[in-house]
Chain A
């Protein structure tokens, strides 16, 4: 089955079933979980960018009313394993509480447990800690320097990862090309910053040996990491996946919070809860995103055809690694974007600094890479005095060239980039848009058109881990679904992870309804806890439509096959003569002879004598789905298939800038989007709109800024600026559907759409606007006032 087919429910305009509980305020978020005897945790944080912890005096805090416990890093380190590390860097251990040395301002040093959160905060102030401030480093390039303070002394260097890949004849292509251009682009430290902070409630049952965990979590292998860190069996951790997660977009991975609370719950024998407040979240929640410096060199011809690219990406990881260095690896799967660049040299370089630790952010490093690539395309156009659109069109992979193998070893599944672009340009009336830009310029404004053509690798896959760390051999990435038709004939399906707004219950219901030709609203979808679950890779890597949709599809197919076989046996015909239709099965040669849904349920549940021999009674099926096109490890040249599916997005916007104030205004914003078959169009549209808004934030507003003392100065919502309804324009989305050949319905991912190209498009628009002044901006975020200063300086120089 593939796209283009007629669908009964898929791709139709249906409501999202999760919405009903949310509009009534009846979502079940972690802060809503109330367990008997539950106590509250607050953390004590390090005020220095780097410091040795000399002494911790808990006495005053412990003497305060309602205070039960003060935990320090020494006790926790002795009792637990360090948190999982993606790289082979044993001397860079990461722990929930700093032990002996704290490495960033805001790092957790101690935790207080009290009867209420307010009392815990009171007591946290009373924990006396003596620090010896240490030299620190904040800047990634400085951290590379020979004289730099070392964030982790025992590691001997601040470099955690330095790997260079060469795919294709880079030097030869550079030598043969007529022109080259180099560019430095910086992606500022921002993140997804959900409105719900991370929270966890943990309770230990010593009589059953079970740790119950309720958390606003979105991460793979959560339960097993908790078990490993706490040194308890995996089957002793029970994660409750029915908790609704108030936004994540990658970062809700509070493993350190959970290990801390899990330890406390076991140690104290009562449930504990840690709901980060906003300050804890911003400073020490370890949920910052990439801060990446690109040095890119491209070799191209006079007609704008790009032959080769050399890219160095230097990542400022913050103080600890976790999995964040892998955000340099994932973009390898789409390193050339939608373009036919023949050869690539890529150096992935990651350093530790005395900033907050990073977490996975929407796109897992793809949005910064897209920014660097798309800035290059515009600069090539500027050098050649070509329309940036033409440069892109000349380099695009054509529809008839799919499947298309890129130099780094990934084969793109499908695409029709030129058609998407043509549709957007028709809607935008591109020539008129340019005329409008020029008209704005004549009125004294600065105005620019921004374009970005980007890919969204989707489907998930962990092969970048093996690519960056050969000790890892993970080639499995799976998702599961179980369907049970009960004795009354109603259908219940299960999914085995949390959701943070992606509408997975709707996805499962829709796909099963489609296959079984039943009203999706009659399919109940539940989330068993982790001990009752099948494997899940969780909602990462823009994968759930593909993988959970795939699991649900195949499970439903198994159920359909079983129903058909039961009916065929009961009708006394060969299974291939039996036809399934809307829950009934009839004899293809005598359609009046049929078994209804009720008949079949009755046979499966109550009439074993009518079941086909050897069949299990009942109507339970399950399916574990492996990511398509995956399963291989990198070859010797560092080539590997990464994600299976590639969605495409094409941004065009018109931006005006007040020349006196530097204030940008988006006049018009169009987005062409192709994610193959859309299982639920409302969900896809919302994801895409939200992605653009998030991209506007990263481009213009959001940054975890530090001062020279290493203090995070954007630590509240007064200084870390999330776009409001005022700042987000009405985006005109132009849909196109190029089905993926790899997936059950032709679907691709859309969880990162909009975000992957909006920052690049906005940066290009700003640069188009200020280019007449002879200036450029290649650092995000482009703050209004800084842009105003830059413009004023250029205007002054022009006057002189």
Chain B
């Protein structure tokens, strides 16, 4: 099937089999390798992307279902080559990862949370990433990263004295 996808601000015309998941489409057709396959049945969250601004699992959607929607991947939140978003930088500051496999998805979950709630509590952060399994970190430094990003982003928006 021919479909049109808006990914990271660019429109792509693609031909896919209906059975191709959005995850496989992003990785194989668009070469966007930041979304990862972990379980492919919707539990681990490693494939998270932003779909019309909300964090969703790209393994739980066929690409044909995504036609016409606005999709943002980790490549789309990276401001420029070699440059990090405040959330990405905060993850580096706290070392909110180890192997890096779940990391892009965690960062997208954090972006979705902070877009909605600039001042999340620890519980709200935990809830926001509870659908993303990290096997390395025990989550502590991830929670710290998101709290730090929130703090910095609030600071950035404060009017200069």
Contacts and interface: CB of A to CB of B under 8 A. Distances in A.
Interface in B111-158: 122, 126-127, 129-143
B34 A691 contact: no
Interface string A118-161: 10000000000000000000000000000000000000000000
A246 B100 contact: yes
Interface in B91-107: 91-95, 97-104, 107
Q: How large is the interface on A (under 10, 10 to 19, 20 to 34, 35 or more residues)?
A: 35 or more
Interface residues of B, number: 56
A683 B92 CA distance: 12
A291 interface: no
A201 to B, nearest CB: 14
A694 B135 contact: yes
A730 B140 CA distance: 6
B25 to A, nearest CB: 12
A21 B37 CA distance: 18
Given A25-B35, A277-B40, A716-B41, A502 B134 contact: no
A25 B85 CA distance: 12
A503 B98 contact: yes
Contact of B138 (A23, A31, A690, A717): A690
B58 interface: no
Contacts of B101: 27, 29, 194-196, 246-247
A726 B107 CA distance: 18
Contact of B44 (A249, A686, A717): A717
Interface in A182-202: 192-197
Chain B interface mostly: loop
Nearest to A193: B135
A67 to B, nearest CB: 16
A22 interface: yes
Contact of A118 (B17, B46, B98, B139): B17
Given A716-B39, A716-B43, A722-B133, A689 B100 contact: no
Interface in A227-281: 244-249, 275, 277-278
B126 A23 contact: no
Given A196-B36, A247-B101, A726-B126, A689 B95 contact: no
B95 A15 contact: yes
B27, B44, B75, B142 — which one has the most chain A CB atoms within 10 A of its CB? B44
A31 B59 CA distance: 15
Given A21-B100, A23-B103, A686 B95 contact: yes
B95 A19 contact: yes
B53 interface: no
A50 B137 CA distance: 38
Contacts of A716: 39, 41, 43
Given A23-B84, A195-B44, A691 B138 contact: yes
Nearest to A502: B98
Contact of A195 (B94, B95, B134, B138): B134
B2 interface: no
B24 to A, nearest CB: 8
A20 interface: yes
B84 A24 contact: yes
Contact of B37 (A23, A31, A689, A726): A31
B50 interface: no
Contacts of B97: 19, 22-23, 501
A728 interface: yes
B78 interface: yes
A195 B133 contact: yes
A667 to B, nearest CB: 15
A485 interface: no
A693 B102 CA distance: 15
A722 B135 contact: yes
Interface string B16-46: 0101100000010000111111111101101
A693 B143 CA distance: 14
A477 to B, nearest CB: 24
A514 interface: no
Nearest to B32: A25
A685 interface: yes
B38 A195 contact: yes
B3 to A, nearest CB: 17
Nearest to B126: A725
Contacts of B91: 19, 23
Given A686-B141, A716-B43, A15 B135 contact: no
Interface string A12-54: 0001101111111111010110000000000000000000000
A592 interface: no
Nearest to A277: B40
Contacts of A22: 97, 99-100, 103-104
A278 B75 contact: no
Given A247-B101, A278-B40, A716-B41, A32 B33 contact: yes
A389 interface: no
Nearest to B129: A725
B133 A686 contact: no
B34 A24 contact: yes
B98 A20 contact: no
Given A25-B73, A192-B135, A690-B138, A718 B41 contact: yes
A192 B143 CA distance: 22
Given A247-B99, A726-B126, A728-B138, A26 B34 contact: yes
Contacts of A29: 33, 36, 101
Contact of A717 (B20, B39, B88, B107): B39
Given A15-B95, A725-B139, 10 more contacts: A22-B104, A31-B27, A31-B33, A31-B36, A194-B99, A196-B99, A683-B95, A690-B137, A693-B138, A694-B135
Nearest 3 CB-CB pairings of A with B: A25-B34, A22-B100, A501-B99
30 contacts: A19-B97, A22-B104, A23-B91, A23-B97, A25-B34, A25-B75, A31-B33, A31-B36, A118-B20, A195-B99, A195-B101, A196-B46, A196-B99, A197-B37, A197-B38, A244-B100, A246-B100, A248-B99, A278-B41, A686-B98, A686-B141, A689-B138, A690-B137, A690-B138, A692-B138, A716-B43, A724-B131, A725-B132, A725-B134, A731-B140
Interface of A: 15-16, 18-27, 29, 31-32, 118, 192-197, 244-249, 275, 277-278, 500-503, 682-683, 685-687, 689-694, 716-718, 722, 724-726, 728, 730-731, 754
Interface of B: 17, 19-20, 27, 32-41, 43-44, 46, 73-75, 78, 84, 88-89, 91-95, 97-104, 107, 122, 126-127, 129-143
